[in-house]
């Protein structure tokens, strides 16, 4: 037995045991009450607490929302819902045709102005950022949605990942995200008003083996949001890292929604109706998680087992997904060879 354990047993033998029992009961009760209060706060946030009004950020006053990765999935839904709330929208992603079609739909459906800019964030082309600076400099921007991101194609051990995928993730999810934020901020600061939503992921909260670079890029986003949010708090600018679990989209490769995996529409609706409400992510400053099933999952992850448990759990899930993805690749290769 270690000297510490021996000393502990000796103390118990020498003293009245009831003192220790009382001490541990008080600690236990304190922990239970803290968890219960935190769960009630979660329910209050999700079902009773209203978010900040979008009017605070310029809705229906001719202000603009800039949305990256706007032509599909979650970004497209942000563009439509912000246009419905009467923001003009600047839509940015790679495919000009998809952007044009969305722009036409938005203008005819919501009677707002829209602009498009096609660029590949992975290229990190200086010219694109100079062009964007010029375009955005002329707009009264009230909202920025940092949504664009790229991911590993399938779960892959870091050592086996290609340099191209690693560079793309860093260029899009980290460098591009910082550059756009820096371009948009001066106008927000001078007008003392702004909302910056950074679309984050559970992967940023729980380190995710086999998606290591993506996971780290989302952790970067969460940390940066907390630091920037604190810097800008007194300037009327709200920064929010929005924590998401799976959502139906091309990136998640999930096509069917379920209780835990919503379509982008209800997910974005809950985010825009709960600005400033932390929900299941109340342990991280300037982060939120307000889609109910995601918020509950976020709360459980942070209030039950320790992080090593969830990291190891992620490892076994991704090992399994990788095996299935590799088998699928083999089948597809064999089928195309046979043709």
**Which residues are identified as catalytic?**
214
101 near ligand NAP (CB under 6 A): no
CB nearer to ligand NAP: pick between 63 and 169: 169
- Which one of the spans 55-63, 93-101, 130-138, 280-288 is the region binding ligand NAP (CB under 6 A)? 93-101
166 near ligand NAP (CB under 6 A): no
75 near ligand NAP (CB under 6 A): yes
98 near ligand NAP (CB under 6 A): yes
Tell me 139's DSSP state: S
Shortest approach of ligand NAP to residue 294 CB, angstroms? 9
- Which one of the spans 30-38, 187-195, 247-255, 331-339 is the region binding ligand NAP (CB under 6 A)? 247-255
- Which one of the spans 205-213, 228-236, 239-247, 290-298 is the region binding ligand NAP (CB under 6 A)? 239-247
Give first-to-last CA distance, the chain, whole Å: 70
Q: Which of 74, 132, 170, 206 is in the footprint of ligand NAP by CB under 6 A?
A: 74
Query: For residues 19 and 214, what is the distance between their CA atoms, to the nearest angstrom?
Result: 50
Residues in the chain, how many?
A: 339
Which residue number is nearest to ligand NAP in terms of Cβ?
Answer: 73
Task: Name the token pair of 303.
Answer: 């209030």
The radius of gyration of the chain's CA atoms, rounded to the nearest angstrom, is 23
**Contact positions with ligand NAP (CB under 6 A) in 167-206:** 172, 199, 201
| 201 carries a ligand binding annotation | yes
Query: For residues 174 and 247, what is the distance between their CA atoms, to the nearest angstrom?
Result: 21
Query: For residues 170 and 146, what is the distance between their CA atoms, to the nearest angstrom?
Result: 14
Q: Which of 181, 208, 249, 318 is in the footprint of ligand NAP by CB under 6 A?
A: 249
Residue spans of alpha helices (H) in the chain = 3-14, 17-47, 73-84, 96-110, 126-137, 163-169, 177-190, 202-205, 212-232, 264-273, 292-303, 307-338
Query: For residues 244 and 288, what is the distance between their CA atoms, to the nearest angstrom?
Result: 9
Shortest approach of ligand NAP to residue 257 CB, angstroms? 11
- DSSP string for 277-308: --BTTTTSTTEEB-SHHHHHHHHHHHHSS-HH
| CA angle at 135 for the pair 274 and 70, rounded to the nearest 5° | 45
Shortest approach of ligand NAP to residue 142 CB, angstroms? 21
Q: Which of 81, 150, 270, 278 is in the footprint of ligand NAP by CB under 6 A?
A: 150
- Is 143 in contact with 66 (CB distance < 8 Å)? yes
95 near ligand NAP (CB under 6 A): yes
Shortest approach of ligand NAP to residue 17 CB, angstroms? 50
**Contact positions with ligand NAP (CB under 6 A) in 254-293:** none
- Identify the CA nearest to 191 among candidates 300, 64, 75, 49: 64
Q: Are strands 141-146 and 194-199 parallel, antiparallel or unpaired?
A: parallel
Interface with ligand NAP (CB under 6 A): 69-75, 93-95, 98, 120-122, 147-150, 172, 199, 201, 244, 246-247, 249-252
Residues forming the annotated binding site? 201
Instruction: Show binding-site residues for substrate.
Output: 201
């Amino acid at each position: 037995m270690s000297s510490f354990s021996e000393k502990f047993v000796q103390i118990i033998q020498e003293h009245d045991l009831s003192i220790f029992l009382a001490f541990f009961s008080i600690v236990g009760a304190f922990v239970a009450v803290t968890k219960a209060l935190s769960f009630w706060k979660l329910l209050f946030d999700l079902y009773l607490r209203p978010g900040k009004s979008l009017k605070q950020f310029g809705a229906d006053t001719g202000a603009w929302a800039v949305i990256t990765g706007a032509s599909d999935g979650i970004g497209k839904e942000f563009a439509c819902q912000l246009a419905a709330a009467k923001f003009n929208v600047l839509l940015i992603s790679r495919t000009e045709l998809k952007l044009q079609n969305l722009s036409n739909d938005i203008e005819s459906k919501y009677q707002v102005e829209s602009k498009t800019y096609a660029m590949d964030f992975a290229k990190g082309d200086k010219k694109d950022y100079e062009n964007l600076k010029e375009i955005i400099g002329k707009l009264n921007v009230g909202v920025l949605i940092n949504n664009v991101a790229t991911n590993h194609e399938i779960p892959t051990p870091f050592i086996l990942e290609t340099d191209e995928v690693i560079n793309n993730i860093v260029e899009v999810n980290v460098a591009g995200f910082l550059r756009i934020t820096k371009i948009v901020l001066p106008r927000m600061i001078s007008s003392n008003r702004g909302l910056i939503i950074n679309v984050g992921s559970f992967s940023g909260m729980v380190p995710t083996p086999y998606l290591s670079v993506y996971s780290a890029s989302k952790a970067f986003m969460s940390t940066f949001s907390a630091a920037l949010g604190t810097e800008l708090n007194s300037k009327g600018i709200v920064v929010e890292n929005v924590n998401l679990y799976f959502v139906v989209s091309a990136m998640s490769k999930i096509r069917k929604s379920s209780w835990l995996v919503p379509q982008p529409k209800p997910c974005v609706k809950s985010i825009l109706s709960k600005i400033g409400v932390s929900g299941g992510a109340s342990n991280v400053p300037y982060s939120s998680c307000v889609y109910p099933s995601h918020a509950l999952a976020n709360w459980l992850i942070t209030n039950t087992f320790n992080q090593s448990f969830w990291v190891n759990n992620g490892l076994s899930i991704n090992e399994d997904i990788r095996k299935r993805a590799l088998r699928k690749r083999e089948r597809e290769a064999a089928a195309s060879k046979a043709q």
